[in-house]
Structure 1
Amino acid sequence: MIIVDAHCDTITKIMEDGTGLRKNNCHIDIERLKSIGNYVQFFAAFIDPSYCQAYPLKRALQIIDEFYSQIEANKDDIMTCRNYNDIEEAVKSGKIAAVLSIEGGEALQGDLGVLRMLYKLGVRSICLTWNYRNEIADGVKDESSGGGLTPFGRKVIKEMNELGMIIDLSHISKTGFWDVLECTSAPVIVSHSNAQKLCPHRRNLTDKQILAIKDNGGVIGVNLYPEFLNNSKEATLKDVINHIEYISSLVGPEHIGLGADFDGIESVPTGINGVQDIEKIFNELAKLNYSNENIEKFAGKNFLRVIQNVL
Structure 2
Amino acid sequence: MTDATALERARALLAEHPVVDGHNDLPWALREKVGYDLDRCDIAHDQSARLHTDLARLRAGGVGAQFWSVYVLGEYQGDQAVSATLEQIDCVRALAARYPEHLRLARTADEVVAARADGRIASLMGAEGGHSIACSLATLRAFHALGVRYLTLTHNNNVPWADSATDTPAAGGLTRFGVEVVREMNRLGMLVDLSHVSADTMRDALEATRAPVIFSHSSARAVCDHPRNIPDDVLAALPDNGGVAMATFVPKFVLPAAIEWSRAAEAALREQGYHPFDMTPEAVAALRAYEAAHPRPVATVATVADHLDHMREVAGIDHIGIGGDYDGTAFTPQGLDDVAGYPNLIAELLTRGWSETDLAKLTWHNALRVLRDAEDVARELQRTEQPSLATIEELDGPRSGDG
Instruction: Measure how far apart 1:234 and its partner are.
Output: 1.7
Counterpart secondary structure, 1:220 = strand
Which residue does 1:17 correspond to in 2? 33
Which residue does 1:295 correspond to in 2? 359
Mapped contact 2:162–2:175 kept (Cα < 8 A)? yes
Take 2:337 and 2:133, find their aligned partners in 1: how far apart are those partners? 34
Q: Does 1:31 find its partner at 2:53?
A: no
TM-score (structure 2 length as normaliser): 0.74
Instruction: Measure how far apart 1:146 and its partner are.
Output: 5.6
Match among 206, 220, 229 for residue 195 of structure 1 = 220
Instruction: Measure how far apart 1:265 and its partner are.
Output: 1.1
Give the counterpart letter for 2:352 in structure 1: L
Match among 162, 182, 187 for residue 137 of structure 1 = 162
Counterpart secondary structure, 1:140 = coil
Take 1:177 and 1:32, find their aligned partners in 2: how far apart are those partners? 34
Give the counterpart letter for 2:362 in structure 1: F
Take 2:302 and 2:60, find their aligned partners in 1: how far apart are those partners? 25
Take 1:226 and 1:141, find their aligned partners in 2: how far apart are those partners? 17
TM-score (structure 1 length as normaliser): 0.96
Mapped contact 1:20–1:70 kept (Cα < 8 A)? no
Mapped contact 1:14–1:21 kept (Cα < 8 A)? no
Which 4+ residue blocks in structure 1 deviate beyond 4 angstroms? none
Mapped contact 1:38–1:94 kept (Cα < 8 A)? no
Instruction: Measure how far apart 1:2 and its partner are.
Output: 2.4
Instruction: Measure how far apart 1:35 and its partner are.
Output: 3.5
CA displacement 1:169-199 (0-9 Å, x = unmatched): 0011122111111110000001111111111
Take 1:65 and 1:258, find their aligned partners in 2: how far apart are those partners? 25
Mapped contact 2:164–2:198 kept (Cα < 8 A)? yes
CA displacement 1:22-55 (0-9 Å, x = unmatched): 3323112222223444511000111212323661
Which residue does 1:243 correspond to in 2? 307
Take 1:242 and 1:175, find their aligned partners in 2: how far apart are those partners? 25
Name the larger-Rg structure: 2
Take 2:68 and 2:139, find their aligned partners in 1: how far apart are those partners? 19
Instruction: Measure how far apart 1:100 and its partner are.
Output: 0.8
Q: Does 1:307 find its partner at 2:371?
A: yes
Which residue does 2:140 correspond to in 1? 115
Unaligned runs of 5+ in 1: none
What RMSD over aligned residues (CA atoms) do the two structures have, in Å? 1.5
Give the counterpart letter for 1:224 in structure 2: F
Mapped contact 2:62–2:342 kept (Cα < 8 A)? no
Which residue does 2:181 correspond to in 1? 156
Counterpart secondary structure, 2:167 = helix
Take 2:102 and 2:201, find their aligned partners in 1: how far apart are those partners? 38
Take 1:53 and 1:308, find their aligned partners in 2: how far apart are those partners? 32
Take 2:331 and 2:204, find their aligned partners in 1: how far apart are those partners? 32
Instruction: Measure how far apart 1:211 and its partner are.
Output: 0.6
Which residue does 1:75 correspond to in 2? 100
Give the counterpart letter for 2:219 in structure 1: N
Give the counterpart letter for 2:215 in structure 1: V
Instruction: Measure how far apart 1:94 and its partner are.
Output: 0.2
Which residue does 1:46 correspond to in 2? 71
Take 1:36 and 1:192, find their aligned partners in 2: how far apart are those partners? 18
Take 2:349 and 2:73, find their aligned partners in 1: how far apart are those partners? 35
Which deviates the most, 260-269 or 36-45? 36-45
Mapped contact 2:74–2:156 kept (Cα < 8 A)? no
Bigger relative contact order (CA 8 A; separation at least 6): 2
Q: Does 1:87 find its partner at 2:112?
A: yes
CA displacement 1:279-311 (0-9 Å, x = unmatched): 111111112221110111111211111011113
Instruction: Measure how far apart 1:254 and its partner are.
Output: 1.1
Aligned pairs for 1:213-292 within 5 A = 213-231=238-256, 232=258, 233-292=297-356
Mapped contact 1:139–1:173 kept (Cα < 8 A)? yes
Mapped contact 1:14–1:20 kept (Cα < 8 A)? no
Take 1:172 and 1:50, find their aligned partners in 2: how far apart are those partners? 17
Take 1:298 and 1:59, find their aligned partners in 2: how far apart are those partners? 33
Give the counterpart letter for 1:130 in structure 2: H
Which residue does 1:2 correspond to in 2? 18
Mapped contact 1:143–1:175 kept (Cα < 8 A)? no
Mapped contact 2:163–2:169 kept (Cα < 8 A)? no
Which deviates the most, 24-33 or 92-101? 24-33
Mapped contact 2:127–2:152 kept (Cα < 8 A)? yes
